[in-house]
Structure 1
Amino acid sequence: PFHSGHAYHIKETKRLTHCDALIVLMSGNYVQRGEISIFNKMLRAKQAIFAGADLVLEIPSPFVLQSASVFAAQSLKILSSIPDFQILSFGSSLPIEKLQSILNFEQRYNIQENTLKNIRSGFAYPKAYSEAMQQINNQIHLISNDLLAIEYMRWINKLNLDCKCLAIQRIGTSHDEMSINPKYLSGKKLRTLLKNNDKKALKYLNSNYPKNLFNQIVRVNKTKLNDLLTYKL
């Protein structure tokens, strides 16, 4: 779900770039984990607009449900079709300089070949890539956002795009961490709280939303719930 960490990302991007317009490119009703989004795409788009985005575009689901490489490539093809697209902003635990050095390291030691070997052994891509990296240098530890950031940078080079990268430092908990931070939760922890009907989740969904938007977040649509129950039966 769109949460306080995403709102922070938008705010920081605008502060650091002084951009004329900010476009959010996001998945639709299906997310990269292969699951149905906990909030529908229209509600999440409204949340992004309220948080400061000027336009929200959707990455088609066939591209969302692929590897980080496909996700990054197709995202950049969409964005590069927009006139005056100049800066790609993404979240990462590492600064741009460190990400670039990892990308250079990967190319020097042919990490992709070892990654493919690990995939054939049964690893998912993120684990396969991380293992391939650590086989050469066990000091490199990457989280999912870092892997996607590296793919963005790789595809900017492959597509020969004239745009800069901006890495917004992740704050609070990591993507899959289950602990509670006073201001920022991981997406996984927030989904767990929402599924358990835990009211602590609401403060991380930005209670400053206009009342009609906030009501859409907390309201249960009984008609749709009945449809789900009928489908289950």
Structure 2
Amino acid sequence: MGGQHMKTAAIIAEYNPFHNGHLYQIKETRRQTGADFILVVMSGDFVQRGGPAFCDKYIRTRMALACGADVVIELPALYALSSAEFFAGGAVALLEQLKVIDALSFGSESGQLSAFTDCARLLVQNPSRVHSKLERQLKSGFSYPAALERAVTEMLSENDVFSDRSGSLGHCAFRMGPAEIHALFSFPNNILGLEYCKSLFSFHNPAGCSRIIPFTLKRLGGGYHDLSPKEDAPFLSASAIRHILGHGGETLQKYVPHAVYDLLSLNNLLTPPVTENHFSSLLHYKLISERDKGFTDYLDCDGNLSDKICKNIDNFTRFDTFCSLLKSKDITYTRISRVLMHILLNIKTPQFFKKPLHQRNLLAPYARLLGFRSQAAPLLHAIKKSSAIPLLSKPADARFLLNEEAYALLQQDFFCACVYESIAAPYRGRPPINEIKQSPIITA
């Protein structure tokens, strides 16, 4: 990130909820990169595991701003509710078009950036071979992470894989043994980190790849799936914190920053969170309404899964048990949960999702501003001056700033927010948020 210009580091996050590990990431990213500003791209009201956020995006924006983020921009629901590949790709496409980001920070289990960059370059520089091997593994019944791991392992065993590439990349990649490769593909944060690097290295621009430099921090504390606090763990995962909230949040105070705990308390959020099961009736109605035509138009729902959904609709009781009913060796619970949310929220497969990675240009035609600190005015000015896409601070003005395709994507975000509010507002005992009239959160 050389030069004398203003330095900005980005973080892609959900903050579901914000915890001490997130605070550590913001502080260390700022310290180690020398960033003047931290810009966060955050999921809106629904998150990547295929469920609703535990609370609305505006409270989560306040949490981020109170804990060191300077600007928070919303990740469109199309990407927020997608697989790791498209979650990362959409977020990177958005960041790239802002034209002000110098580094992208992400957490990983090892904290070793070279493993991610070497593997990402292998995948990006050999697209046809990766595609054929990946498809074969997927057809054999492996989940996407397992299939990708097997494809990479197979490629690294082929001596000519780097015959038309630089020797340095091949040397580094071949030093990764089976154990290192397996570790890379065994944790959700690692998978996302790899996808971030892939997206950066495959971004289409005159320079051939993104100008944004990847940067990783070793995760500390509980793993993604660890639900119980460990005495020696400095941090808890968001999953563990949601688990605590589900059983009463009295013990939460030591695992989240003081500002976050105050926001949780002030907004009556130290209680069981909104979950996918609160959307069960809406989903059941949608499934019954469309069972005759099937569900293959919806994002990531192939014919086999559509048939399976149709055959089991009469056994529907609630969201989570229906996911468990449909789960199998080759279809993970998380993928099913995302697909059911796609159906509920009317998220269909866009044409640009269907192209191979090396031909793909993901649509990220606007940057929806959720909030900012007043001290971040220089960054906002730089974005407005340099960005290739509009910075939307007033949703009502969007129809005058966006073309038809871009406005349709934004309307999808509005619809998702309305569905979320239809459940979350009465559950929390508050008025629903009017997405069109909502202004960005501004803090000191």
Q: Report the TM-score when normalising by structure 2.
A: 0.47
What is residue 118 of structure 2 aligned with on the other side?
A: 101
Which region of structure 1 is more displaced relative to structure 2, 67-76 or 50-59?
67-76
Cα distance in structure 2, aligned partners of 1:226 and 1:69: 33
Q: Which string of whole-angstrom CA distances, capped at 9 and with x for unpartnered residues, describes residues 68-97 of structure 1? A: 111111111111122321111111113111
Structure-2 change in CA distance of 1:166 and 1:226 (3 Å): closer
Q: Which amino acid aligns with 2:196?
A: Y
What is residue 202 of structure 1 aligned with on the other side?
A: 253
**Identity level (%):** 29
Cα distance in structure 2, aligned partners of 1:179 and 1:133: 34
Q: Do the aligned residues in 2 keep the contact of 1:90 with 1:149 (CA within 8 Å)?
A: yes
1:191 aligned counterpart, secondary structure: helix
**Aligned partner of 1:34 among 28, 38, 50:** 50
Q: C-alpha root-mean-square deviation of aligned residues, in Å?
A: 2.8
Residue 31 of structure 1 deviates from its aligned partner by 0.3
Q: Which amino acid aligns with 2:63?
A: Q
Residue 61 of structure 1 deviates from its aligned partner by 0.8
Unaligned runs of 5+ in 2: 1-16, 158-176, 204-208, 274-423, 430-444
What is residue 84 of structure 1 aligned with on the other side?
A: 100
> Aligned residues, how many?
228
Structure-2 change in CA distance of 1:18 and 1:51 (3 Å): same
Equivalent residues in 2 for 1:56-205, closer than 5 Å? 56-94=72-110, 95-104=112-121, 106=123, 110-133=129-152, 138-139=178-179, 140=181, 141-142=183-184, 143-159=187-203, 160-181=209-230, 182-205=233-256
2:37 aligned counterpart, secondary structure: coil
Q: Which amino acid aligns with 1:185?
A: L
Residue 218 of structure 1 deviates from its aligned partner by 3.2
What is residue 70 of structure 2 aligned with on the other side?
A: 54
Which region of structure 1 is more displaced relative to structure 2, 88-97 or 116-125?
116-125
Structure-2 change in CA distance of 1:226 and 1:204 (3 Å): closer
Q: In terms of Rg, which structure is larger?
A: 2
Q: Do the aligned residues in 1 keep the contact of 2:89 with 2:199 (CA within 8 Å)?
A: yes
What is residue 224 of structure 1 aligned with on the other side?
A: 426
1:23 aligned counterpart, secondary structure: strand
Q: Which amino acid aligns with 1:224?
A: P
Q: Which amino acid aligns with 2:119?
A: I
Q: Do the aligned residues in 1 keep the contact of 2:250 with 2:270 (CA within 8 Å)?
A: no
Which region of structure 1 is more displaced relative to structure 2, 130-139 or 96-105?
130-139
Unaligned runs of 5+ in 1: 228-233
1:57 aligned counterpart, secondary structure: strand
Structure-2 change in CA distance of 1:192 and 1:212 (3 Å): closer
Structure-2 change in CA distance of 1:2 and 1:138 (3 Å): same
Q: Which amino acid aligns with 2:133?
A: N
Q: Report the TM-score when normalising by structure 1.
A: 0.85
Which region of structure 1 is more displaced relative to structure 2, 104-113 or 28-37?
104-113
Q: Which string of whole-angstrom CA distances, capped at 9 and with x for unpartnered residues, describes residues 182-219 of structure 1? A: 43112222111111214223332223448456422636
What is residue 391 of structure 2 aligned with on the other side?
A: none
Which region of structure 1 is more displaced relative to structure 2, 118-127 or 153-162?
118-127
Cα distance in structure 2, aligned partners of 1:204 and 1:226: 23
Cα distance in structure 1, aligned partners of 2:21 and 2:148: 26
